[in-house]
Amino acid sequence: MITGIPTAGVAKTPFTGSYDPAALGPERGAFAPLDDAGGTVGRALRTQQEVKPVYVSTGHRIGLDTACRHVLALAPEYRLPQTTRLADRLCRDALASGCA
């Protein structure tokens, strides 16, 4: 890795794997393992009370517990972390204005 900066994945839908929705509580911070091919590849993490979870995975130089703590810290008001939410909004605005 060129920069050595820790990275983690956060998505609105799971890229791979599945989880048991019954194992995921309704409260902020609740999580369930996201499993694929017999191993855990991430977590379904609820960032707000009774909203759909986001899907967190490790990347480079970061563990799953730490990645989930950061996601929760960056999502104080909305389902998505502020950084992801802002990037998504900027991309959608650029596409809508024809700057693709």
- Structural domains in the chain plus CATH codes: 7-96 (3.30.2170.10)
Could you read off the pLDDT of 1-51 as tens digits, one per residue?
A: 588 999 999 999 998 999 999 999 999 999 999 999 989 999 999 999 999
Q: What pLDDT score was predicted for residue 1?
A: 57
Q: What pLDDT score was predicted for residue 2?
A: 83
For residue 78, which phi and psi values (nearest 5 degrees)? -125, 170
Rounded distance, CA 60 to CA 45, Å?
Answer: 19
